[in-house]
């Protein structure tokens, strides 16, 4: 696991450099979710595959930007899924973006997740690694330095409601309006990494990307985005559900499957469970 952690750190430093210098041109290719890839998405994907391929314990990798999984080392025990550059379309407006990693033992699948990690490329580069505990690191003078352990509170103040509101279910809109009426403040950048990071570091709240009429299975991808963040939130003392059940109890039929998702502290997630069990 140390070798993987190290390879992720090296990838993060290389990605930071690529973000700093690279033009944000679109490529001629689409990814498996039908989105046109940026040159930068492809470059970051290659950086991570290259660094993970140096680690013998990594059996297979799968990426949001690759249709199929790639086997690296027959004798390795870890399967790593990653989103090389989440929120990449935000780079050209200079908002924060991130990389997300799920580390699975034996095979991909929510039950096999043993660690998760994400990197935020913002004014500073930070990394959160969740294994037994959830730890925050800051890139300083070329190295990631441990900052602190992260724990979520019982209840927070921030609300990050994703998805196109026009396509929300009525009960979902009523629930979000209810939180705002209770004093919650809107904090949504459109990048799940900084949005979820903010809620984690400020003690709690709710990030949601629900099922909508145009996206009945949500937008966010189980293996590359939803499962890793669910692991981080649960280890930090929070919760992650799809509306009704724990995200980490969900299966997946295909590598690129999506799921509605809600991440937060207990108080807010409890409300989601009540609303969704009465409506959905």
In the complex with Mn ion, which residue's Cβ is closer, 86 or 234?
86
Please report whether residue 83 would count as binding Mn ion according to CB under 5 A. yes
Please report whether residue 216 would count as binding ligand AHG according to CB under 6 A. no
* 232 contacts: CB under 8 Å, gap ≥ 6: 116, 118, 128, 130, 134, 196, 200
CA end-to-end distance (rounded Å), the chain: 40
Please report whether residue 257 would count as binding ligand AHG according to CB under 6 A. no
Q: Exactly one of 51, 86, 126, 195 binds Mn ion (CB under 5 A); which one? A: 86
3-state secondary structure of 176: helix
Please report whether residue 195 would count as binding Mn ion according to CB under 5 A. no
Please report whether residue 162 would count as binding ligand AHG according to CB under 6 A. yes
* Cα dihedral across residues 164, 45, 122, 256: positive or negative: positive
- Choose the one of ligand AHG, Mn ion, none that binds residue 219, judging by a C-beta under 5 to 8 angstroms depending on kind: ligand AHG
Rounded to whole angstroms, the Cα distance separating 247 from 162 reads 17
Q: How far is the CB of 246 from Mn ion (least distance, A)?
A: 21
Q: Which residue is nearest to ligand AHG (CB)?
A: 192
Place of tokens 């499962």: 227
The stretch near ligand AHG (CB under 6 A) out of 19-27, 120-128, 186-194, 262-270 is: 186-194
Q: How far is the CB of 31 from Mn ion (least distance, A)?
A: 8
Phi and psi (nearest 5°) for 250?
-80, 150
Nearest to 19 by CA among 126, 136, 98: 98
Q: Exactly one of 45, 49, 64, 239 binds Mn ion (CB under 5 A); which one? A: 64
Q: In what order do the strands lie in the sheet with 125-130?
A: 70-71, 58-63, 78-86, 97-105, 113-121, 125-130, 134-140, 143-149
In the complex with Mn ion, which residue's Cβ is closer, 83 or 126?
83
Burial (0-12, 13-18, 19+ Cβ within 10 Å), 187:
middle
In the complex with ligand AHG, which residue's Cβ is closer, 55 or 206?
206
Rounded to whole angstroms, the Cα distance separating 36 from 214 reads 19
The stretch near ligand AHG (CB under 6 A) out of 86-94, 168-176, 237-245, 263-271 is: 86-94
C-beta atoms surrounding 133 within 10 Å: 11
In the complex with ligand AHG, which residue's Cβ is closer, 63 or 110?
63
In the complex with ligand AHG, which residue's Cβ is closer, 156 or 191?
191
Q: How far is the CB of 200 from ligand AHG (least distance, A)?
A: 15
Considering only residues 15 to 44 of the shown chain, the ones binding ligand AHG according to CB under 6 A are 35
The two most distant CA atoms of the chain are separated, in Å, by: 55
Which positions touch ligand AHG (CB under 6 A)? 35, 64, 83, 86-89, 162, 190-192, 219
Which positions touch Mn ion (CB under 5 A)? 64, 83, 86
């Amino acid at each position: 696991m140390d070798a993987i952690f190290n390879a992720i750190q090296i990838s993060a430093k290389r990605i930071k450099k690529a973000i700093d210098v690279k033009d944000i041109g679109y490529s001629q290719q689409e990814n498996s979710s039908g989105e046109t890839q940026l040159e930068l998405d492809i470059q970051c994907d290659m950086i991570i595959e290259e660094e993970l391929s140096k680690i013998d314990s990594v059996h297979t990798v799968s990426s949001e930007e690759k249709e199929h999984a790639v086997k690296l080392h027959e004798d390795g025990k870890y399967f790593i899924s990653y989103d090389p550059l989440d929120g990449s379309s935000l780079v050209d407006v200079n908002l924060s973006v991130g990389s997300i990693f799920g580390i699975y033992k034996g095979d991909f699948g929510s039950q096999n997740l043993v660690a998760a990690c994400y990197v935020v490329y913002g004014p500073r580069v930070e990394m959160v690694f969740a294994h037994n505990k959830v730890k925050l690191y800051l890139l300083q003078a070329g190295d990631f330095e441990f900052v602190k352990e992260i724990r979520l509170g019982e209840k927070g103040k921030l609300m990050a409601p994703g998805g196109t509101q026009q396509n929300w279910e009525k009960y979902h809109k009523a629930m979000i309006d209810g939180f705002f009426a209770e004093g919650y403040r809107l904090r949504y950048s459109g990048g799940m990494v900084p949005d979820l990071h903010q809620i984690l570091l400020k003690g709690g709240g709710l990030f949601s990307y629900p099922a909508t009429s145009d996206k009945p299975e949500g937008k966010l991808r189980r293996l590359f985005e939803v499962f890793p963040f669910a692991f981080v939130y649960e280890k930090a003392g929070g919760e992650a559900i799809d509306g009704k059940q724990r995200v980490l109890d969900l299966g997946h039929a295909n590598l690129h499957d999506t799921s509605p998702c809600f991440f937060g502290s207990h108080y807010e997630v409890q409300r989601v469970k009540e609303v969704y069990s009465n409506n959905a």
